[in-house]
Amino acid sequence: MAAFIAAQRDRHGIPQVLSCRALGVSRSWLYKWRSSGLPPRAQRREHLKAEVAWCFAAHEGKYGSPRITADLREAGWRVSENTVAALMREQHLAARRKKKRKATTRPRKGRWRAPDLVKRDFPAALINRKWYGDGTEIPTGEGKLYLASVLDMASRRILGFAVGEHHDAQLAYGALAMAVAVRGGQAPGVVFHTDQGSEYTAGMARSAGARLGIRQSMGRPGSALDKA
């Protein structure tokens, strides 16, 4: 079994800690097998190598050598970052880079935007006082879908939502129309707070708000703190 685990690592790059977990054997047993007949320094290296693989797997491949080194030192190992990096290279372990968030709100100069009526005072004691709208992208096997939603801050209930292939004003309007229908077809005086995305600054959203008595509110572009 130990030879099989080693072969899976060498031939297919499967970390030994995952093989141990799948086969129901302990890491200490594997360490003992791997280090049999080796001098003390080589035994320590084998144990350290397995610990590096375990840390990497435990953090779902997101940690690089600096953070794994810190974890090992907290566990009592005396090890350098260069050694950890070398052991990771031997096992073909490379941390996945965090994807940079793509900014979707790009306000153009001169475009209409609503004032900020919320000013980061997000809570609401009563329903139909503060609604919050936002959109998100959903990757699927057949391409991207977009979801727009409307939340009532007092009840924390999603009142309306819409899903479509395009991130546009029609999608935002669909979510808002559902929210108004859920609340009886009227929402006079409701503050509808969003970002400055084009789907909310478009004429369709503005005319719908005016028709329904909804007051639009928008935070600053690029500031997550201005959003609920």
- Examine residue 104 and state whether it is found in any structural domain, yes or no: no
158, pLDDT greater than 90: yes
- Examine residue 115 and state whether it is found in any structural domain, yes or no: no
- Strands 157-164 and 130-140 turn out to be unpaired
Which pLDDT value is given to residue 140? 86
Kindly report the CA angle at 202 between 166 and 168, in degrees rounded to 5? 5
Residues 205 and 146 in one domain: yes
Which tens digits make up the pLDDT trace of 45-97? 888 888 888 888 888 888 888 999 999 998 888 999 999 999 999 888 888 77
Report which of 167, 46, 49, 54 is spatially closest to residue 102, judged by C-alpha positions: 167
Residues 140 and 76 in one domain: no
Residues 75 and 149 in one domain: no
**Nearest-angstrom CA–CA distance, 131 and 111:** 23
| pTM for the full predicted model | 0.51
Provide the number of structural domains found in the chain. Answer: 2
DSSP label of 154: T
Structural domain of 40: 2-90
- Examine residue 72 and state whether it is found in any structural domain, yes or no: yes
Residues 81 and 168 in one domain: no
Q: For the chain, what is the total number of helices (H) and then of strands (E)?
A: 9, 5
**Nearest-angstrom CA–CA distance, 227 and 118:** 9
Helix (H, G, I), strand (E, B) or coil at 14: coil
Residues 145 and 215 in one domain: yes
- Examine residue 124 and state whether it is found in any structural domain, yes or no: no
Final residue before a domain boundary, out of 90, 121, 149? 90
